[in-house]
Chains A and B, each alone.
Chain A
Amino acid sequence: MARDALESGSYAIPARKAADAENLLATGAVTEVQVIAVLDKCMGQHHQRKPHHSIAGVDVHVFSRDGWYIKVYFVDPQTFFLSVHR
């Protein structure tokens, strides 16, 4: 789902995270294609599911691979990239 949202450009960034200099997807320091490449390399052991820090019932998916750290959550129909760090 995260991959599809990146491919189609239909993802969003939570407003409070949009100006975060460390959200490399928001700043444009990394492209959607680069994030897709990281997600494609993630296997089960590179993925964790954690509850959202303040809103019950929403899971945050954390992908960490090769020094990348990607946090994403889904609120149907939207995919939100909370952070893309390196």
Chain B
Amino acid sequence: MRFYEAGDKTKALCEDCGAVVEAVYGYHDVAFDDGVGIAKGILAAACRECGTVVAIPAQSLPALRRTRPVVDVPLEVELPAPDLEILDAVSSRVVSRPTTRHRKMVLAYYALLLASRGDAGAVISAAAQVLALDEQRKGKGGVPKKRLSFRISDEFDATLHGLMEESGLKKSATVRAIIQFVREDVTGPDAIGANEPSTITELRRVAQTMSA
């Protein structure tokens, strides 16, 4: 990665000057057009003609992100009780005292995993397996529905919506498809023991890191 330092020069577009200009890196307070925040003292390039900050290098983006307010959005879906039991089963595999926060962690972990694979077909096929499970349960008496409710970050919300768009599924069906992947990992033949799925091992590491 290239790191710029104060005094380094570059070229950039300056919309105030309406031209390609020479710009110089330095530490500036960067105010944003949306008025939401100001990033104080970050390395940015300013137009040599008018002084307007015109470019933010990649190295300053982490500092910039810290100034963005964290937006939480509600996630509320009604699920058959066995789905929540699956989330709880994994939670108790990865931490000794699981809470509802760990349900969210498990759901988010698998959602991100699926999103990174970019395989909408896998999500759709998991949703079909969920429907088949529902069919099997019909003859066995009632399964109560329970509410899964927590606040999630805007990033997790975006991941969820990405999976919804790719698969064409509604939110509750998408959440249930994600849980189906969790189900396969915890009910598979090697779910417990030396050959446990790498997802469980990694999730344990994530949980330990989060609680550090």
Binding site for B on A (CB under 8 A): 8-16, 18-21, 24, 26-29, 32, 52, 54-55, 57-58, 66-67, 73, 75-78, 80, 86
Contact = CB atoms under 8 A, between A and B. Distances in A.
Contacts of B165: 67
B15 A18 contact: no
B4 to A, nearest CB: 9
Contact of A76 (B11, B19, B37, B166): B11
Contact of B54 (A14, A26, A57): A14
Given A9-B58, A15-B56, A26-B64, A54 B11 contact: no
B206 interface: no
Interface of B is mostly: mixed
Interface residues of B, number: 40
Contacts of B141: none
A64 B158 CA distance: 19
Interface of A is mostly: loop
B72 interface: no
Interface stretch (B26-34, B92-100, B175-183): B26-34
Interface in B35-65: 36-37, 39, 44-45, 52-59, 61-62, 64-65
Interface string B1-36: 110000000111101001110000000001011101
Contacts of A20: 34
Nearest to A73: B13
Contacts of A16: 15, 32-33
A13 B33 CA distance: 14
A55 B2 contact: no
B205 to A, nearest CB: 19
B68 interface: yes
B57 A12 contact: yes
Contact of A54 (B15, B37, B57, B58): B15
Contacts of B67: 19
A10 to B, nearest CB: 4
